[in-house]
A and B are shown apart, each in its own frame.
Chain A
Amino acid sequence: MSSTGATPPVLAPPRKRAGQGSRRVRPWYMSAVLHGSLVVATIIAIFPVFWIGISSFKPRDEIINSPTLNVWPDNWTWSNYSDVISANDYEFLHWFGNSALIAVLTTIVGVFLSATAGYALSRYRFPGYRTALNSFLVTQMFPAAIIIVPIYQIITSLNLIDSQLGLLLAYSTVAVPFCTWMLKGYFDTIPISLEEAGRIDGLTPFGTFWRIVMPLSTPGLAVTCFYTFITAWNEVAFANIILLSPDKYTLPVGLRTYVFQFDQAWEKLTAGAMLVTIPAVLVFLFAQRYLVSGLTRGGVKG
């Protein structure tokens, strides 16, 4: 199911102290090699984003006719930004809104489904437990290629082609198996005594889940929300066949029309890409301190 290219973040226990490698003083040439390779890696890591960013300030003829490699624009311009925003009746803003709406709704549905399932799998060893747990693992492997045709057929027969609701249906399960797995691992770390106390004080089973466990799981839920949101935000395959009219497109489908046509509109694409990338990178770099390493915990342990 995970054909969307978003790699999931992972929850981790509190970080141990950093830099526990060699504690001896390095000779200067080793330092030079180490910093040199890290600087090269960093340049490669940020260069494509830098290049899109710098190109978004170049007029069209500098982007596609430039006879020599000019890194800095000869004529700085903001017009690509105003062009991409106002083009075709503000279609870019529509795409942005559609992407945000669908990703938010997918997140709400997906995280609710994974949290309830993750809780049942964390707290109860009911008959069929092993089968239920394994079904979430195996579902990870289902290629979109098999199920996309039948889902397309379901959405057609419900008359939901070219509607956001249809896309939401297709997306609602896309991140559920992985999130269920991750939340089960998170719930496992919450001591059960609090729930027992809640039950004694007269809460229903669902009440203990909703009013005790959920508030305690905010960090785990935040990471799952983030992952689901990113997965929906990046999805192309379903959006491409379900949404037909340009004002309903999501960002990837819409931006794709700029570059998969004869007259490639790179000046619009670069500006649009920057408008999408800057908020995404800021959110990610803020969130990444919570999504630290440690894949083996939570997600994977049975």
Chain B
Amino acid sequence: MTTTDKTLPAPGLRGRGGPSLGERLRRSFGRWWFAYAMLLPVFVVMGLLVFYPLGRGIYYSFTNADQYNALNPLQPSTYKWIGIDNYTRILKSQEFRDVLGFTAIWTFVNVFFHFTLGLALALALNRTLKFRGTYRMLLLVPWAVPSFISAFAWRFMFNNPYGFLDQFLIKLGWETPPAFLGDPTWAKFAVITTNVWLGVPFMMVALLGGLQAIDSDLLDAAAVDGANAWQRFWSVTLPGLRPVAATVILLGLIWTFNMFNVIYLVTGGGPGTSTQILATYAYQNAFDFKLYGVATAYGVIILSILLVFSQFYRYTVKRMGEETWS
């Protein structure tokens, strides 16, 4: 909690003898009108552009809206309520299972490498070291480059057969190197590689901040008590990193799960649907197939997965003894 609370409201008087509800509302407004006025713009805009669309999107997911009966300015909408048909059709389909499977692989593999590589680099940079500043600055380059440019750069390097990687593998003696973007398995490898490259610097910087916040006296005390480097890392450094790590891992999971740019710009989801994740597949349903009802149903599924997952995550982290959020 903050230490700058200006005023705290008196506990509301309940029951008989207190002021009437109207009176209490009036007093409350007299006291808090400024706070509400300052929040008004953001809630008006978010109401129109986030919460209304959310409700509307959930409604669409129970209809058969598509390009023939909805969202056409030239003719009235004629889409109908079809109950949970979109959901049953999605959950039964093979595409959904494939896309869900790859979404899970995509999310966990990415965040695993973001975290482990970010932690390794942060540990290396947290030492007295020549050229430390230079390393740190150059390692931030993947974060500094606009992400759509990075996606194009990797698409360029993965090109078959004249891209850098294929040419390099030929030099190493692989006569017919893989078509990274044309083969379903290699395409998965390609998008994940791109996104790992893109996400490591953020983790590195966040974890470096966490490392620098660990009291060095604790490490010294452990060393005096005879703990070796591994024991100091395992028993002092890692527990000290836990609050930062818990937060950045959750954020990383949510962002990666919803990542659009890398997949859309490196493979476009292809070949076939082999590199689609739920977020990009919903987009393809909406704007390539123009199946608005199906697309929003995918959106609702994504939101449910994220809500369930983040509750589970917070519960787990709390049980491990850390408060991420008050």
Contact = CB atoms under 8 A, between A and B. Distances in A.
A260 B288 CA distance: 15
Contact of B54 (A65, A121, A142, A292): A142
Contact of A293 (B36, B146, B212, B254): B212
Residue among A35, A52, A264 with the highest chain B CB neighbour number at 10 A = A52
A86 interface: no
Contacts of B9: 125-127
Interface in A1-59: 1-7, 10, 12, 15-16, 18-23, 34-35, 37-38, 41-42, 44-46, 48-49, 51-52, 55
Contacts of A154: 48-49, 53
A284 B150 CA distance: 15
A252 to B, nearest CB: 4
Interface in B1-27: 1-9
A80 interface: no
A4 B34 CA distance: 34
Main secondary structure of the interface of B (DSSP, over half): helix
Residue among B147, B268, B287, B326 with the highest chain A CB neighbour number at 10 A = B147
Interface range on chain B (Cβ under 8 Å from partner): 35 or more
A15 B283 CA distance: 42
B188 interface: no
A22 B8 contact: no
B170 interface: yes
Residue among A120, A170, A176, A293 with the highest chain B CB neighbour number at 10 A = A293
A60 B267 CA distance: 22
Nearest to A129: B35
B134 to A, nearest CB: 8
Interface in A123-163: 123-127, 132, 137, 139-154, 156-157, 159
A149 B60 contact: yes
Contacts of B247: 295-296, 300
Residue among A38, A119, A120 with the highest chain B CB neighbour number at 10 A = A38
Main secondary structure of the interface of A (DSSP, over half): helix
B157 interface: yes
Interface string B307-326: 10010000000000000111
Interface stretch (B80-88, B89-97, B290-298): B290-298
A240 B326 CA distance: 39
Contacts of A269: 152, 156
Contacts of A256: 148, 152, 265
Contacts of A120: 34-36, 38-39
Residue among B39, B58, B140, B208 with the highest chain A CB neighbour number at 10 A = B39
Nearest to A132: B39
B225 to A, nearest CB: 16
A295 B73 CA distance: 45
Given A126-B36, A296-B243, A10 B206 contact: yes
Contacts of A108: none
B45 A173 contact: yes
A16 B208 CA distance: 11
B116 interface: no
Interface string A85-125: 00000000000000000000000000011101101111111
A294 B209 contact: yes
Contact of B299 (A132, A145, A266, A270): A145
B153 A145 contact: no
Given A66-B167, A145-B278, A288 B140 contact: yes
CB-CB nearest 5 A-B residue pairs:
A293-B209, A146-B299, A302-B326, A145-B282, A145-B299
10 contacts: A21-B127, A137-B325, A142-B54, A143-B302, A144-B283, A154-B49, A176-B46, A284-B144, A293-B209, A300-B325
Interface of B: 1-9, 28, 31-32, 34-36, 38-39, 41-43, 45-46, 48-50, 52-54, 56-58, 60-61, 70-71, 73, 117, 120-121, 123-130, 132, 135, 137-150, 152-157, 159, 162, 164, 167-168, 170-171, 197-202, 205-210, 212-213, 216, 219, 229, 243-244, 247-248, 251, 254-255, 258-262, 264-265, 268, 278-279, 282-283, 286-287, 292, 295-296, 298-300, 302-303, 306-307, 310, 324-326
Given A19-B132, A145-B295, A300-B247, 19 more contacts: A16-B212, A19-B129, A21-B127, A45-B140, A66-B162, A113-B42, A117-B39, A119-B38, A123-B6, A145-B282, A145-B296, A146-B299, A146-B303, A149-B296, A154-B48, A156-B73, A173-B46, A252-B265, A294-B209
